[in-house]
């Protein structure tokens, strides 16, 4: 009995509790207002349904949130992830496109189910490009001593231009079916993207919790001076988290471009940086750095995605849904704000005195 009590306490005080409550509330809402929300069907040996849809569509965001969590935990922020998604998508599709290195090509060749570059090379190249972007951010922050928001803004502005440079300003459509598997495939009946998220999450968890890196990240985020005095290599930790965030954005770029079978440098990953930050904030990691939970951030991403999906389901247009999202997010953030709690407490205290 005592055992289960303390387990419950540990659960309620853990970082994943409130994001889970939020997710639960959304699910509860759906149970009443969205018909067939929880219905799962098996078609062609694949699972289908709104829940599967949330996971599949939320996959890029979950991957981004994992990278962003570590950056925010060091009291930083990465504004460039949306642009890096576009760059990664651009690199991948350009390498696949049969027109690569050959501008004069018959149009029927273009739509053939072939790739100009072997798929492993495509994926590797996209991830290397994304990692370089992250490394650039990390250098500016750790060696250039530029504020993270300012440093990553540069790539946020220039990144989409670079992506357009890569694609030659065109929306590149992919006809190579093996590539579709990344964002649309199924493995053992569930979407392949789920495996990607799980793999990235597991890797990040191993990286932070089975090495000293997680502890160092939190330590830097809480008190950078004490960390320096304790011999922690603050610069390289920062370099690492920004690079990792870049790689995560690269993976998200692969999923997105595979999912929609094309790369649009202007619109791929548009607004992703903001969604990723919000996912982390909903997950209870403070923007000022410190303690972080990868799982809570992933749940935070699911909260955002299920909110979006719910609104589609009840007929709110996709673009309009972000207004509701904004209000919900603001409420969550205010609930985390100490000042807001103080004001609320004071209001209630006053009422009690009056009555």
Partner 1 sequence: MAESDQVILTMTGISRAFPGVQALQDVDFNLRRGEIHALMGENGAGKSTLIKVLTGVEAPDTGVINLDGKEVQVKSPQHAQDLGISTVYQEINLCPNLTVAENILIGREPRRAGRIDWKRMNAEAREILLRLDVDIDVTRTLGSYSVAIQQMAAIARALEIASAKILILDEPTSSLDAYETSQLFGVMRKLKSQGTAVIFITHFIDQVYEIADRITVLRNGKLVGVYDTAALTHLELISNMLGRNLVELENVSKSRTRRAQSFSSEPLMQARELGSTGAIEPFDLDLYAGEVVGLAGLLGSGRTEIASLLFGIDKPDHGTLTYDGAVVRKYSPLASIARGVALSPEDRKAAGIVEDLSVRENIVLAMQASRGWFRFLSSAKQTEIADKYIKLLNIVTPSPEQPVKNLSGGNQQKVILARWLATNPQLLILDEPTRGIDVGAKAEIQKLVVALAEEGKACIFISSELDEVLRCSDRVVVLRDQEKITELAGDEMNETLIMQTIAGS
Partner 2 sequence: MNRSFKIDRKFVPLLATVGLFTIGYILGAIKYPGMARPQTFFNLFIDNAFLLIAATGLTLVIISGGIDLSVGAVIALTSVVAADLMENVGLSSLVVMPLMLLMGAAFGALMGGIIHYFKVQPFIVTLAGMFFARGMAFFVSLDAITITDPIYRSLSLARIHLIGKAFVSVHVIVAFVVLAVFMYLAHLTRFGRTVYAMGGNEQSARLMGLNVGRTKVMVYTLGGFCSALAGLVFSNNLLSGHGLYANGLEMEAIAAVIIGGTLLTGGVGYVFGTMFGVLVNGLIQVLIIFNGELSSWWTRIVIGLLTLVFILVQSTFTSWQRRQAGIRPTRKRSDAVATTSDGAVVPDTPTS
Q: Of the candidates 291, 295, 312, 321, which one interacts with partner 1 according to CB under 8 A?
A: 291
Find the shortest distance in angstroms from Cβ 330 to partner 2.
5
Measured from the CB atom, the residue of 219 and 310 that comes closer to partner 1 is: 219
Long-range contact set of residues 157-160: C-beta below 8 Å, sequence gap at least 24: 157/83, 158/83, 159/80, 159/82, 159/83, 159/84, 159/86, 159/87, 159/133, 160/83, 160/86, 160/265, 160/266
Contact stretch for partner 1 (CB under 8 A) within 17-25, 33-41, 207-215, 256-264: 207-215
Query: Which does residue 233 touch among partner 1, partner 2, none (CB within 5 to 8 A, set by kind)?
Result: partner 1
202 binds partner 1 (CB under 8 A): no
Query: Which does residue 340 touch among partner 2, partner 1, none (CB within 5 to 8 A, set by kind)?
Result: partner 2
Measured from the CB atom, the residue of 117 and 164 that comes closer to partner 2 is: 164
Q: Residue 112 and residue 97: Cα distance in Å, rounded?
A: 9
Exposed, middle or buried by CB within 10 Å (0-12, 13-18, 19+), for 202? exposed
Binding residues for partner 2, rule: CB under 8 A, are: 77, 140, 144-147, 149-151, 153-165, 168-169, 265, 270, 274, 277-278, 281, 287-288, 317, 319-327, 329-330, 333-334, 337-340, 343
* 246, 155 Cβ separation under 8 angstroms: no
Measured from the CB atom, the residue of 130 and 155 that comes closer to partner 2 is: 155
Q: Please, what is the Cα angle at 290 between 286 and 295, to 5 degrees?
A: 70
Find the shortest distance in angstroms from Cβ 291 to partner 1.
6
Measured from the CB atom, the residue of 200 and 268 that comes closer to partner 2 is: 268
Helix (H) or strand (E) holding 141: helix 119-142
306 binds partner 1 (CB under 8 A): no
Token couple for 326: 């904004």
Q: Residue 272 and residue 261: Cα distance in Å, rounded?
A: 18
Exposed, middle or buried by CB within 10 Å (0-12, 13-18, 19+), for 9? exposed
273 binds partner 1 (CB under 8 A): no
What is 173-192 written as a DSSP string? E---HHHHHHHH-EETTEEH
CA 89 to chain centre: 15
Query: Which does residue 337 touch among partner 1, partner 2, none (CB within 5 to 8 A, set by kind)?
Result: partner 2
Query: Which does residue 52 touch among partner 2, partner 1, none (CB within 5 to 8 A, set by kind)?
Result: none
Contact residues for partner 1 (CB under 8 A)? Answer: 210-213, 215-216, 218-219, 222-223, 225-233, 290-291
């Amino acid at each position: 009995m005592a055992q289960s009590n303390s387990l419950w306490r540990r659960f309620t005080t853990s970082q994943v509790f409130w994001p889970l409550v939020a997710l639960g509330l959304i699910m509860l809402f759906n149970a009443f207002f969205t018909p067939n929300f929880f219905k799962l069907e098996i078609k062609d040996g694949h699972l289908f349904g709104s829940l599967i849809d949330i996971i599949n569509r939320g996959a890029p965001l979950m991957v981004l949130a994992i990278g962003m969590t570590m950056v925010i935990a060091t009291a930083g922020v990465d504004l460039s992830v949306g642009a890096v998604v576009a760059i990664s998508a651009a690199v991948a599709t350009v390498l696949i496109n049969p027109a690569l290195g050959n501008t004069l090509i018959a149009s029927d060749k273009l739509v053939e189910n072939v790739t100009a570059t072997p798929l492993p090379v495509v994926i590797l190249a996209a991830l290397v490009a994304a990692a370089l972007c992250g490394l650039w951010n990390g250098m500016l922050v750790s060696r250039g001593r530029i504020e993270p928001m300012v440093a990553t803004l540069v790539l946020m502005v220039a990144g989409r231009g670079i992506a357009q440079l890569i694609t030659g300003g065109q929306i590149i459509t992919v006809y190579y079916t093996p590539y579709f598997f990344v964002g649309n495939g199924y493995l053992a009946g569930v979407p392949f993207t789920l495996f990607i998220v799980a793999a990235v999450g597991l890797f990040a968890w191993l990286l932070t919790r089975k090495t000293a890196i997680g502890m160092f990240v939190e330590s830097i985020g809480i008190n950078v001076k004490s960390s320096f005095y304790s011999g922690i290599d603050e610069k390289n930790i920062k370099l690492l988290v920004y690079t990792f965030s870049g790689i995560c954005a690269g993976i998200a770029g692969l999923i997105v471009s595979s999912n929609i079978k094309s790369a649009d440098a202007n619109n791929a990953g548009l607004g992703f940086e903001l969604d990723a930050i919000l996912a982390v904030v909903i997950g209870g990691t403070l923007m000022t750095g410190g303690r972080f939970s990868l799982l809570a951030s992933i749940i935070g991403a699911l909260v955002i995605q299920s909110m979006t999906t719910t609104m589609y389901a009840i007929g709110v247009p996709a673009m309009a849904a972000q207004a509701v999202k904004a209000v919900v997010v603001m409420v969550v953030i205010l609930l985390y704000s100490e000042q807001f709690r103080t004001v609320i407490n004071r209001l209630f205290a006053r009422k009690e005195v009056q009555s």
